[in-house]
């Protein structure tokens, strides 16, 4: 088993590589999920908000607009390349800052935030028990936590796709991390409860479309292909196409049941 530092470095490498096309090709498809997350957050004026795993900043930017000039938003991520993209998007959001940091070591003092958000990021956290403690630490009493996570491959086509592609990639250096890692959210909910945050799970089907298999492969399989020999890339591609596009080419709707872990600090 790799050390936590090695595992974190592996994660950083993945997200740095994804930063080149994440905003253009992936983030836009997640907009309905971002909106559903924000709808559940109860954001209002003058609040302080943390967005964990902010990526290219879409949720943080929307939150900055929601809390207004009297509020403030901090977006954190482990990928400096992702944060560079996020910072390049800022126009007049003077109440928003981006900081390098992990969910396990949040760069903020105790009781800093009214709301903590995590959109499609908690599945990739290496030590979720530590993250739960950190989220509770930086939340104010009564503060709200909302996380969006994928369901399992039977209910979530993006997880099915990435699981099929990932079968051809080298085994990651840490277990329990990946798109379907919180298909069963109960263990993480228990960790949150131990930290003082009582949560419930709400589900919503929020799908998106790809024009054809090639466009989906280019966007979703980049990390897998980067770690494979060329002949294995073609083998993986054919297997994933058979699983996800059994009727050949053409557009395909991805059915994605998203789970929202919602709760408040006692």
Which residue in 19, 194, 144 sits closest to 89, CA to CA? 19
Task: CATH number of the domain at 77, please.
Answer: 3.40.50.150
Query: Are the C-beta atoms of residues 103 and 52 closer than 8 Å to each other?
Result: yes
Look-up: residue for tokens 């943390």?
Answer: 50
Q: Does residue 76 fall inside a structural domain?
A: yes
Which residue is it, tokens 């049941």?
257
Domain span at residue 102? 4-153+172-209+256-265
237 inside domain: no
Q: Is 64 exposed, middle or buried (0-12, 13-18, 19+ CB in 10 A)?
A: buried
Q: Is residue 239 part of a domain?
A: no
Residue 236 lies in a domain: no
Domain assignment present for 44 = yes
Residue 20 lies in a domain: yes
* Residue 84 counted as domain residue: yes
186-195 helix and 128-138 helix, angle to the nearest 10 degrees: 40
131 part of a folded domain: yes
Of the candidates 63, 61, 103, the one whose C-alpha atom is nearest the C-alpha of residue 79 is: 103
pLDDT above 80 (res 262): yes
Domain count, the chain: 1
Q: Look at the chain and count its residues.
A: 266
Residue 105 is predicted with a pLDDT of 97
Least confident of 68-72, 98-102, 197-201, 235-239: 235-239
Confidence (pTM): 0.93
Note the pLDDT tens digit of each residue in 115-168: 999 999 999 999 999 999 999 999 999 999 999 999 999 999 999 998 898 888
pLDDT in tens, 185-221: 999 999 999 999 999 999 999 999 999 999 999 888 8
Strand partners, 115: 49, 144
The Cα–Cα gap between 62 and 72 comes to 12
| Alpha-carbon dihedral angle through residues 5, 10, 13, 15, given to the nearest 10 degrees | -100
Task: Give strand ranges (E) for the chain.
Answer: 48-52, 72-77, 96-100, 113-119, 139-150, 197-205, 208-210, 252-254, 257-265
Q: What's the Cα-to-Cα distance from 69 to each of 56, 88, 96, 115, rounded to whole Å? A: 21, 20, 10, 16
| pLDDT reported for residue 3 | 65
């Amino acid at each position: 088993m790799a050390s936590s530092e090695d595992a974190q470095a592996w994660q950083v490498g993945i997200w740095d590589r994804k930063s080149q096309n994440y905003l253009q090709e992936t983030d836009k498809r997640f907009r309905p999920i971002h909106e559903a997350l924000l709808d559940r957050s109860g954001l209002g004026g003058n609040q302080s908000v943390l967005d964990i795993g902010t990526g290219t900043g879409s949720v943080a930017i929307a939150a900055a607009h929601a809390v207004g000039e009297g509020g403030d938003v901090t977006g954190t991520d482990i990928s400096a390349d992702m944060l560079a993209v996020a910072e390049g998007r800022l126009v007049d959001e003077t109440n928003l800052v981006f900081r390098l940091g992990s969910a396990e070591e949040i760069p903020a003092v105790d009781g800093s935030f009214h709301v903590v958000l995590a959109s499609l990021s908690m599945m990739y956290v290496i030590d979720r028990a530590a993250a739960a403690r950190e989220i509770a630490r930086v939340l104010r009493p009564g503060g709200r936590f909302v996380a969006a996570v994928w369901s399992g491959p039977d209910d979530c086509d993006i997880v099915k796709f990435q699981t099929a592609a990932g079968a051809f990639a080298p085994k990651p250096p840490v277990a329990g991390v990946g798109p379907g890692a919180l298909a069963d959210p109960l263990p993480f909910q228990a960790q949150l409860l131990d930290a003082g945050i009582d949560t419930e799970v709400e589900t919503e089907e929020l799908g998106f479309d790809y024009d054809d298999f090639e466009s989906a492969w280019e966007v979703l399989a980049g990390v897998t292909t980067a770690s494979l020999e060329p002949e294995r890339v073609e083998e993986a591609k054919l297997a994933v196409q058979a699983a996800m596009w059994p009727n050949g080419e053409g557009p395909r709707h991805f059915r994605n049941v998203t789970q929202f872990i919602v709760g408040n600090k006692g």
